[in-house]
Amino acid sequence: MASEKPVTLKDLTILNKENLPSGGGFMILPSQLGYFDLLRLELVLGAIEIIYLVRKGAALHPLLRAHLERESVHAMEFTPGETELSAYQGAMKDAAKSGAVIIYLPAEAATMTSPMTTVPGAKLEFLLKAEVPVLPLYVHRRQDTALPTERRYTDAETIFNFGKLLQGPELNLATYQEVLLLLSEQSISEAPALELSLGYALIQGFKKFGTRNSVVDGKDDKILRFDKIFATALALSRVVRSATSKPRVGIILPPGIGGLICNVAVVLAGKIPVNLNFTAGRAAIDSAIRQGQIDRFLTADIFVRKMQSFPWPPSKQLVLIERILPKMKFAIAKWLMLSKLLPSAALAALLGIAKKGGNKEALLLFTSGSSGEPKGVVLSHRNLIANVMQFGSRLGMQSNDSILGSLPLFHSFGCTVTLWFPIIYGLHLVTYPTPLEVKKLAELIQKYSVTLMIATPTFLRSYLRGVNREALASIKLCVTGAEKLPRTVADAFETRFGKRVLEGYGLTETSPASNLNLPDPEPLGDPEKGYVWLPSHRQGSVGHVVPGMALRITHPDTGKPVPIHQSGMIWFKGPNVFEGYLNDPKRTADVLQDGWFRTGDIGRLDLDGFLYIEGRLSRFSKIAGEMVPHETVEESLVKAMGLENETVRKIAVVGVPDVERGEALILLTSIPGGPEHQEILDLRYRLLDKGMPPLWIPKKMIRVSDIPVLASGKLDVQSCEKIAKAGM
């Protein structure tokens, strides 16, 4: 038998210990439990009798198996199945009545990084049917979510977080999962790294990866190492600092080395970057500048000339980087030397950058305005560091991996994932100013062996035309967000390139990533020999919640909590949830309640923790008292109209007021054809034949030249509604 290493509670943090009953008579159901976790749990429980519960034939770590074979250890094996359930329940109840604590031992499981649990949903459901009170235990190893720039935690540094005791009607899978997610949020919110300021984290990243990683500007194939980027940003930060006394600085640039340097420079100047949406209308841009109280803007001559329709501020407010950077060679050289000589703390002190940022504003982003005037979303240092940590811990990328950065920097996804994430995690970045030129992007992917591709479904459609399969051979992960991923796009992309599209989900208010599908893990061994395999991807879902986020579901009308397996309004809580809307306490209060954020999206969780988004509340219509999801109707229309292979959005469904039924659905289409009245009648019969409820069928069809979309690829709901109302 393997010798046992002495175990203490020195490296263990216990949260909510008051939830641990003083006596026995319950089962501890942990998210995961390794050998040393088990020994520490025994110390925590003290003299209470323990009975270990393990599935017969389960693959356990040799040390765990050896521990169970000790004479002083009591173990009970079970075989899940309906025929064994009654006998198993009886044995469990007897053990609980005797005053023992039953501890379930999960088998070794193949999972991707930072899973919520290593126990499959079906097994959890089986265990909960024993009707024995259950104490959820979330086990978090700090090293699983540590930033690469942090001191590396040891295996021993662990958090035990005990949930409330579940009994009676609460003994069900939905309640257990909801509690486990809340415990995850509490545990990861304890991470010391979350107190870092964004500026300090960037300094650490540049110091650690300065000579190892680089940035490519795909426009001219210019390559700069991180240390050169850092020195240039440091020099520019002094200019920014002296240019304005205002706390926020506007940046009007597309993705590229210039956009990256400007954003870092603004942060190192101790100010707040505001990447402005240069594709928006004048009213939205003026609103953003006014709300942000911005009087200085970083941009470039070439971009000013190219974007002549943009309502440019007076030239005295513009800082044109290609005019001033060539004059700063000496300053850049000086900062390059200082950045190498000085440790992070000394460099931060010299710059006036605080080590801690906490809940102070670090970044201001504006919502797309797809359903109203843009709202200023205030993201704190804690929000951004948290989301970089959450996203990075799930992806598990290495320092030789590279990201394609072509999404707009004013887009929350593009900002977090292609600005802060690669610097703090030490990944190569390949940039290009637009996501639309897919042939050029494919060339860059192939030339620089890009491994992580970030896109939206709208932009993915373009790759299906004229891009060779070999061009995307290096891609390990193709992650999409911002809008629902149509099954037809996902299937066509996988068929053409052999790459599965991994749908994620997030909002500007969650910094943005909240959910992510990942490639399924490789099996550890034969399931027949007791090994467990947990899926990391499920078609149609947006994946698992990222570590450190809690989730709850409420009824869309009443606001009352419902089980998380039931469709309803999605709420999130976590360190990446924003601080509120800029100078707008009313709208902030509408969506933030006791730390919980109301997303405005309708969805549900399945038995294995995958989240399904069924539509945005603004994309539902209440027709004769029934909630009708626009996106579901659109999916049926795509099939009925034979549009499965279209690479550009051809239809959109919107709701308009209707005297008789409250609302009516209107179909916008860019497909040319005959009389609209006759076509909608024909379409109605086809949809009825396929079983669609009559209330879900559009009342009218309106032809448009193009379906309005935003720069991010999202449907421009506001413009669609205006067209529909004008056509009534």
Question: Is the pLDDT confidence value at 425 over 90?
Answer: yes
Q: Please give the average per-residue pLDDT across 694-698, as a whole number.
A: 83
Query: Confidence band (pLDDT; 50, 70, 90) for 171?
Result: very high
Cross-strand partners of 251: 275, 298
Please state, in angstroms and rounded to a whole number, the distance separating the CA atoms of residues 606 and 114.
19
Which residue in the block uniquely carries the two structure tokens 């600005």? 419
User: Which amino acid, residue 352?
Assistant: G
Nearest Cα to Cα of residue 315 among 328, 293, 299, 302: 299
Determine the pLDDT at residue 5. Answer: 56
Mean pLDDT of 209-230: 96
Q: Are 147 and 192 in contact (CB under 8 A)?
A: no
Distance CA 156, CA 596 (A): 32
CATH numbers and ranges of domains, the chain:
12-187 (no CATH), 198-516 (3.40.50.12780), 549-614 (2.30.38.10), 624-726 (3.30.300.30)
What is d(CA 707, CA 630) in angstroms, rounded to the nearest whole number? 15
Angle between helices 198-209 and 257-268 (to 10 degrees): 130
Q: Using one digit for the tens of pLDDT, what is the confidence trace for 230-241?
A: 999 999 999 999
Q: In the chain, what percentage of residues exceed pLDDT 90?
A: 58
Residue found by looking up tokens 């959820």 in the block = 136
Strand partners, 102: 27, 51
Would you state the structure tokens that stand for residue 232, as one six-digit string?
């240039």
Mean pLDDT confidence for 178-205: 96
* pLDDT over 90 at 137, yes or no: yes
Burial class of 171 by CB neighbour count within 10 A (0 to 12, 13 to 18, 19+): middle
Instruction: Give the percent of the chain with pLDDT over 70.
Output: 96
Q: What are the distances in angstroms from CA 618 to CA 102, 602, 648, 714?
A: 47, 10, 23, 14
Spell out the residues 6+ positions from residue 669 whose beta carbon is closer than 8 angstroms to its own.
Answer: 650, 651, 701, 702, 703, 704, 707
Does the pLDDT of residue 155 top 90, yes or no?
Answer: no
Strand, helix or coil for residue 701: strand
pLDDT beyond 50 at 337? yes
Neighbours of 170 (CB within 10 A): 16
CA dist 385 and 693 (Å) reads 46
Distance CA 328, CA 678 (A): 68
Question: What per-residue confidence (pLDDT) applies to 236?
Answer: 98
d(CA 337, CA 365): 34
DSSP 159: E
Q: CA 15 to CA 161: how far, in whole Å?
A: 5
Tell me the residue type at 9: L
- Phi then psi for residue 468, to 5 deg, are -75, 150
pLDDT of residue 621: 79
Among 501, 502, 486, 457, residue whose Cα is nearest residue 635: 486
Q: Model-level pTM?
A: 0.88
- Residue range 460-472: average pLDDT? 90
**CA 235 to chain centroid:** 33
Q: Per-residue pLDDT for 3 more than 50?
A: no
- Give the model's confidence band at 2: pLDDT under 50 very low, under 70 low, under 90 confident, else very high: very low
Query: Mean of the pLDDT values across residues 613-631?
Result: 76
Q: Cα(first)–Cα(last) distance of the chain, in Å?
A: 80
**Antiparallel, parallel or unpaired: β 651-658 and 662-669:** antiparallel
Predicted confidence (pLDDT) per residue in 81-133, tens digit: 656 667 777 788 888 888 899 999 998 887 877 788 889 898 899 889 888 99
Query: pLDDT tens for residues 537-582?
Result: 999 999 999 999 999 999 988 899 999 999 999 999 999 999 999 9
Higher pLDDT, 155 or 336: 336
Among the residue ranges 178-182, 449-453, 624-628, the one predicted with the least confidence is: 624-628
Who has greater pLDDT, 304 or 677?
Answer: 304
| Of residues 140, 138, 131, 139, the one with CA closest to residue 166 | 131
CB contact set of 324 (below 8 Å; sequence gap of 6+): 236, 239
For the chain, what's the residue count? 728
The whole-angstrom distance between residue 481's C-alpha and the CA centroid of its chain comes to 9
Question: What does residue 349 show for φ and ψ, rounded to 5 degrees?
Answer: -65, -40
Continuous H helices in 18-104: 35-45, 62-68, 82-97
Separation between Cα atoms, residue 536 and residue 538, nearest integer Å: 7
pLDDT at residue 83 in the model: 61
| pLDDT at position 84 | 65
**Rounded CA separation 646/369 (Å):** 27
Query: Whole-number mean pLDDT of the chain?
Result: 90
Q: Give the residue among 176, 50, 43 at the shortest CA–CA distance from 563.
A: 176
pLDDT, tens digit, 9 for 90 and up, residues 59-94: 888 898 898 888 888 888 877 665 666 777 778 888
Rounded CA separation 515/450 (Å): 23
What does the pLDDT read at residue 369? Answer: 54
Angle, in degrees to the nearest 10, between helices 329-341 and 344-351: 140
Q: What is the pLDDT of residue 242?
A: 96
Q: CA-CA distance, 701 to 681, in Å (whole number)? A: 10
Residues forming a β-bridge with 379: 363
Beta carbons of 668 and 704 less than 8 angstroms apart = yes
- For residue 196 the two structure tokens come to 């870092």
Higher pLDDT: 423 or 531? It is 423
User: What band does 684 get if pLDDT is binned at 50, 70 and 90?
Assistant: confident
| 8 Å CB contact between 482 and 412 | no
